Amino acid sequence: MATTDIQIQILQTGTITVRPSLYTQPHTRSPLLRLLHILTDRQWRSPSLPVYTFLITHPTEGRILFDTGMSPSCNGPGYFAWWFPAIKFMSRLSITPDQSIGTQLLERGIGPGDLTAVVLSHLHHDHSGGLSDVAGAPVLMSKEHWEAFQSPTAATLSGAAPNHWPRDFAPDFLQATGGPVGPFEKSYPVTADGRVVAVETPGHMRGHVSLVVFGDEATTYFLTGDATYDLESLDAEGTDGANDDPVGAVETVRKIKQLARERPLVVLPSHDLGSRQRLEEKIAYKPSNTGF
Ligand SMILES: [Zn+2]
């Protein structure tokens, strides 16, 4: 039976310029040494990184938003905790008010009540900064990630801005009731028909998830969140500088590569300038054998 197409749109919420050491470091380097490298880095990486969110329109189950992007308030005084200036040191943030996720959704006639679900890959400020714009919509994330970020102090130290989450923010948890997806042992259905599921992609952060969207015909989309920053890093099995489990991060990127060997996979990282073209032209990623 032919399936009706699922649409995916990229909505960009500003850009981030990062230290090269935040972008990538060897996976053999410990989290503490990684942080030291970032804090002593004086360079800025060019080009700046886009901050993408993804609006998925399912033919019968409505609209799902993957991540909420950065907040236009992020450069305002007091947005980040004064006692933890590291985010300002390691990144430069740029976003205009009309790039907020709330404004972009409203431009399309979509309010929070029109969203079936908001799925968060993780709570870093550039993925959860628009949460207050979609307050009222069901928010889904992994229980493991929520528990790691539940304390405001721990969340702040990990790169979130918990003071700007909606009042009494209480996400729902993804449930592992789906079967395996390639090398991912289990999946967390987001839609009842199983065409949108989350899979565990830890490494960048505990409990981080990516989203798999089974499109029409033979195309499967893999929305990585921050499991990788771009296809070059993915192919080289590089790890980003800020992750808290570099060895786990390598295991995760190997699984994504394995899935791409098993089926045509359009890989869409949140900070990859190539994601737009890959989405529009349905360009599947063909892994090299690096690391194997
Ligand atoms: Zn992140």
Domains and CATH numbers, the chain: 7-281 (3.60.15.10)
226 C-alpha to center of ligand 1: Å?
A: 5
Q: What is the Å distance from ligand 1's center to 229 Cα?
A: 9
Ligand 1 center–CA 85 separation, angstroms? 17
List the pLDDT tens digit at each of the 292 positions of the chain: 445 789 999 999 999 999 999 899 888 888 889 888 888 999 999 999 999 999 999 999 999 999 999 999 999 999 999 998 888 889 999 999 999 999 999 999 999 999 999 999 999 999 999 999 999 999 999 999 999 999 999 999 999 999 999 988 999 999 999 999 999 999 999 999 999 999 999 999 999 999 999 997 789 999 999 999 999 999 999 998 888 899 999 999 999 999 999 999 999 999 999 999 999 999 999 998 755 4
Distance 142 CA to ligand 1 centre (A): 15
CA 121 to ligand 1 center in whole angstroms: 8
The full 3-state SS of 251-291, as one line of letters, equals HHHHHHHHHHHHCCEEEEECCCCCHHHHHHHCCCCCCCCCC
How many whole angstroms from 217 Cα to the centroid of ligand 1? 31
CB 149 within 8 A of CB 123: yes
Task: Find the 1 Cα to ligand 1 centroid distance in Å.
Answer: 39
Q: What pLDDT shows up at residue 242?
A: 83
Q: What is the DSSP letter of 6?
A: P
Distance 48 CA to ligand 1 centre (A): 15
pLDDT on residue 290 = 59
Residues 244, 206 contacting (CB under 8 angstroms): yes
